[in-house]
Structure 1
Amino acid sequence: MNQLAQKLGLSPHVQFHDVYTLDSNPHIPRPALALLAIIPLTRAWSLTRTAEDTNNPTYAGCGPDEPVIWFKQTIGNACGSIGLLHSVINGPAAEFIIPGSKLDDIRHRAIPLSVAERADMLYHHGGFEAAHRAVEEVGDTRASEGDGHAGLHFVAFVKARGRLWELEGARGGPLDRGGLGEDEDVLSSRALELGIKRVMGGGEEGDLRFSCLALAAV
């Protein structure tokens, strides 16, 4: 993940750290800028997702007033790359994008576009594809793990405008999970309860393949 992030243009002053437990992670500098979770698609979670997406209005956000930038995934074998993208171009992480980089170009081009136009732009963005393929070739398999390992989804949790957002390209749009205080980041107890623990609480079938990466300073 860190190789792909830097190839796309994320500053080396931040990186993804392994989250070993949801209770205490003293090795991760705070505030954590984003949480990227790899989650098994259990039957219970699948039903919850379908019901939620069906009940929500069709997402049509675009423009500078959009609280987060969300990409509908149309690229095969790129679940992890889309999750990374959602993590680094939203919220405080965007401040660490190197000017003139691929990430900078993707972010600025995406802002005014509709959902369909944004997906098409990313699909045809040569820099994004080249970085994704280069990392795959050197063996950074976690960048595409969501599609390469059946039933796993990459879900990004970011804080933007005082809210916790859940972002996944396979959903119907970004999901507002609730408010966070000024002193609460994505690893705060409230953010974890509103986000990843909510999903884990609805698990079943003994699937324990949850894992998380936190984006934070080096």
Structure 2
Amino acid sequence: MAMYKVDGRMRKCFYPLESHPDVFNEVTHGLGVSPSLVWSDVLSIDEPEILAMTPRPALALVLVFPSTPTYQEQKREEDAAREAYTGCGADEPVVWWKQTIYNACGLYGILHAISNGPARQYIQPDTVIAGLLEKAVPLKPEERALVLEGSPELEKIHTAAAMKGDTAPPAYEAAETLCHYTCFVTSSKTGNLYLLDGDRKGPIDLGVKLPEGEDMLSAPALEAVRAYLQREDNLNFNLLALVKEEK
């Protein structure tokens, strides 16, 4: 773990996570989510035969894409019209984690996926994620972020997983990531589809509900992913689904 000074205070920097199901599973299960939920690659969002290879139901999606200058400019323009999110408490439509740990957008994607929607029901009691949620949910975003920064258990789980990808992680001083992770998940309160990205000003309600009985690989959810990708002519992306593994 390295530290960097930002806005007058020291912030943590983690090794980046590889977008690989095994790496995501290690973090997810290490945090305390039931082993019955696993991550799976989504090999196509346009070809039904290939999409059918992904296990169902899918409870959340994490999209990995290049953090290009075009994307950064679009993000600045969109966020300029939004107020910074200040929500907190059990009545929030979604749990949003503001990202303050550098190079950890993969971790925040996982946290958003397991803290919301039906995946929340698979969090086991007396675990790391159960404790983090208990402490953090009553707090506003800045204080909530400090709960993550102050968790040695979270750091240990993340670091162990980062070391087990197919590609060795770079040294901290060379570890700035070229890709970004964002999560698509439904609200257990409203049923609306949300885009959750800790690097934005807050949760983004996409104003779409999934059809009754449908999951995150249904047409409305995939259309939201497709629309996000079409903002830039770049097909270099990866999509992972958090799915319920049938025994």
Corresponding residue of 1:155? 182
Give the C-alpha shift of residue 67 in structure 1: 0.9
2:194 maps to a residue whose letter is: W
SS of the residue corresponding to residue 33 of structure 1 reads: strand
Q: Is residue 2:246 matched to residue 1:216?
A: no
- For residues 30 and 174 of structure 1, the distance between their equivalents in structure 2, rounded to whole angstroms, comes to 25
Alignment CA distance shift 1:165-1:148 (3 Å)? farther
Is this contact kept in 1: 2:128–2:154, CA < 8 A? Answer: yes
Q: Is residue 2:212 matched to residue 1:182?
A: yes
- For residues 173 and 151 of structure 1, the distance between their equivalents in structure 2, rounded to whole angstroms, comes to 22
Q: Is residue 2:143 matched to residue 1:117?
A: yes
Give the TM-score, by structure 1 length. 0.90
| Cα RMSD (Å) | 2.1
How many matched pairs?
A: 213
Q: Deviations over 1:82-119 (max 9, x none)?
A: 11111111110011111111011111211101111000
1:3 maps to a residue whose letter is: E
- For residues 7 and 173 of structure 1, the distance between their equivalents in structure 2, rounded to whole angstroms, comes to 26
Q: Deviations over 1:132-155 (max 9, x none)?
A: 1121233376999xx957431100
2:202 maps to a residue whose letter is: G
Give the C-alpha shift of residue 42 in structure 1: 3.3
Alignment CA distance shift 1:109-1:61 (3 Å)? same
**Pairing 1:66-215 to 2, within 5 Å after superposition:** 66-139=92-165, 148=175, 150-160=177-187, 161-180=190-209, 181-193=211-223, 195-204=224-233, 207-215=234-242
2:218 maps to a residue whose letter is: S
Give the C-alpha shift of residue 28 in structure 1: 2.5
Corresponding residue of 1:3? 26
1:184 maps to a residue whose letter is: E
- For residues 85 and 148 of structure 1, the distance between their equivalents in structure 2, rounded to whole angstroms, comes to 21
Pick which of 5-14 and 21-30 moved more. Answer: 21-30
Is this contact kept in 2: 1:132–1:143, CA < 8 A? Answer: no
Q: Deviations over 1:7-48 (max 9, x none)?
A: 111111010011000033223333310001101223433222
Give aligned-pair identity as a percent: 39
2:235 maps to a residue whose letter is: L
- For residues 167 and 113 of structure 2, the distance between their equivalents in structure 1, rounded to whole angstroms, comes to 18
Alignment CA distance shift 1:140-1:67 (3 Å)? farther
Corresponding residue of 2:80? 54
Mark the structure with the bigger radius of gyration. 2
- For residues 123 and 182 of structure 1, the distance between their equivalents in structure 2, rounded to whole angstroms, comes to 38
SS of the residue corresponding to residue 47 of structure 1 reads: helix
Give the C-alpha shift of residue 183 in structure 1: 2.9
Alignment CA distance shift 1:44-1:113 (3 Å)? same
Is this contact kept in 2: 1:72–1:115, CA < 8 A? Answer: yes
Give the TM-score, by structure 2 length. 0.80
